[in-house]
């Protein structure tokens, strides 16, 4: 039996083994935690906008044939010009749509621009510009192998405390619990999904969440991890820019990237 004609089991939906892959890149955030300046995705890393690094990282996978960039609401024209100005793989199609008020809304708007033939959809933060292609491919492989939702994840270095959040910034916060660190993971992007599962998650979950996989969890469907990568970190605060430029400098030394 060919992979394509694999029977659909009674369990959660799964993408056909050779399903085409689209990537949605939400890039419509302001980057408030990074400090004043242009929208975060448009700020430069080593002279190139963060978004362009992120697009290159996803399009580096030979499996990704469509990239949908979700631009700042007033920025689609600028983003289209940026994509035109940079050499990108010819085997990949690029679409730009305007974003929304929240990450969740921006992802939903990007997902709506993915044609139905794409059975696998990746969602990748523009703010994680340096994710290695091996991580992208590991996520794709796990979805094509039948997982409805896949997240790259890393063990934590710090011990984590659950607290009663303070009402004023800087006030002491009572510690409520110390979850067992060995069972915790920090999750990254790209998160990968069987397309129908992701569409259903966005249609069903209305509460504000911080990642797409948690919406699938709310549907009661399984979410699995694959190993994440240190270089897939999220550029959130100013020090992250320093780290990102250092990673790029090391890559230039090692392989001329």
Ligand X SMILES: Nc1ccn([C@@H]2O[C@H](COP(=O)(O)OP(=O)(O)OP(=O)(O)O)[C@@H](O)[C@H]2O)c(=O)n1
CB of 200 to ligand LQXTBERG, least distance (A): 19
75 touching ligand X, by CB under 6 A: no
- Which ranges in the chain belong to alpha helices (H)? 50-59, 76-85, 103-111, 133-144, 195-204, 212-218, 238-255
Binds 210: which of ligand X, ligand LQXTBERG, none (CB < 5-8 Å by kind): ligand LQXTBERG
Residue 65 interacting partner from ligand LQXTBERG, ligand X, none (CB closer than 5 to 8 Å by kind) = none
CB 116 to ligand X: min, Å: 23
Output b/e per residue, 122-155; b: 16+ Cβ within 10 A. Answer: bbbbbbbbbbbbebbbbbbebbbebbbbbbbbbe
Q: Should residue 125 be labelled a site residue for ligand X when binding is judged by CB under 6 A?
A: yes
Please state the closest distance from residue 235 (CB atom) to ligand X, in A. Answer: 7
Candidates 14-22, 26-34, 60-68, 75-83; binding stretch for ligand X (CB under 6 A): 26-34
132 binds, among ligand X, ligand LQXTBERG, none (CB under 5 to 8 A by kind): none
Site string for ligand X, 30-59 (x = CB under 6 A): xxxx------xx------------------
Q: Exactly one of 236, 240, 243, 245 binds ligand X (CB under 6 A); which one?
A: 236
CA distance 257 to 248: 8
Taking the complex as a whole, the smallest distance from the CB of residue 188 to ligand LQXTBERG amounts, in Å, to 6
Indicate the SS3 state at residue 148: coil
Helix, strand or coil, per DSSP, at residue 30: coil
Minimum separation from the CB atom of position 125 to ligand LQXTBERG (A): 5
Identify which of 107, 118, 12 has the alpha carbon closest to the alpha carbon of residue 69: 107
- Residue 169 has which token pair? 């910034």
Peptide bond connecting 190 to the previous residue in cis, omega within 30 degrees of 0 = yes
C-alpha closest to that of 128 among 20, 6, 238, 41 = 41
Partnered with residue 97 across adjacent β-strands are 70
Q: What is the number of the residue whose Cβ is closest to ligand X? A: 29
| CA nearest neighbour of 38 among 79, 84, 81 | 79
Q: Does 106 bind ligand X (CB under 6 A)?
A: yes
Binding footprint of ligand LQXTBERG on the chain (CB under 6 A): 103, 125, 187-189, 210-211, 234
Between 19 and 64, CB nearer to ligand X: 64
- How many whole angstroms separate alpha carbon 216 and alpha carbon 218? 5
145-184: contacts with ligand X (CB under 6 A): none
Q: Is 247 in the site for ligand X (CB under 6 A)?
A: no
Q: Which residues bind ligand X (CB under 6 A)?
A: 26-33, 40-41, 70, 99-103, 106, 125-127, 234, 236
């Amino acid at each position: 039996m060919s992979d394509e004609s694999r029977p659909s089991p009674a369990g959660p939906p799964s993408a056909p083994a050779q399903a085409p892959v689209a990537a949605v890149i939400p890039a419509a955030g302001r980057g408030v935690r990074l400090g004043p300046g242009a929208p975060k995705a448009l700020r430069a890393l080593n002279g190139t906008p963060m978004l362009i690094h992120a697009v290159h990282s996803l399009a580096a996978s030979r499996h990704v044939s469509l990239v949908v960039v979700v631009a700042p609401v007033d920025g689609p024209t600028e983003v289209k010009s940026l994509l035109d100005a940079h050499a990108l793989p010819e085997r990949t199609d690029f679409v730009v749509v305007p974003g929304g008020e929240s990450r969740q809304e921006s992802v939903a708007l990007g997902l709506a621009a993915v044609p139905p033939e794409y059975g696998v959809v990746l969602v990748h933060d523009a703010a994680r510009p340096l994710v290695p292609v091996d991580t992208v491919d590991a996520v794709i492989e796990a979805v094509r192998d039948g997982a409805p939702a896949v997240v790259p994840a890393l063990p934590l270095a710090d011990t984590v405390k659950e607290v009663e959040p303070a009402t004023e910034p800087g006030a002491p916060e009572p510690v409520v619990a110390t979850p067992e660190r060995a069972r915790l993971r920090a999750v990254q992007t790209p998160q990968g999904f069987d397309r129908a599962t992701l569409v259903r998650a966005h249609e069903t979950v209305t509460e504000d969440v911080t990642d797409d996989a948690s919406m699938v969890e709310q549907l009661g469907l399984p979410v699995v991890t694959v190993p994440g990568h240190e270089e897939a970190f999220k550029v959130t605060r100013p020090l992250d820019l320093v780290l990102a430029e250092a990673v790029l400098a090391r890559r230039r030394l090692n392989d001329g990237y």
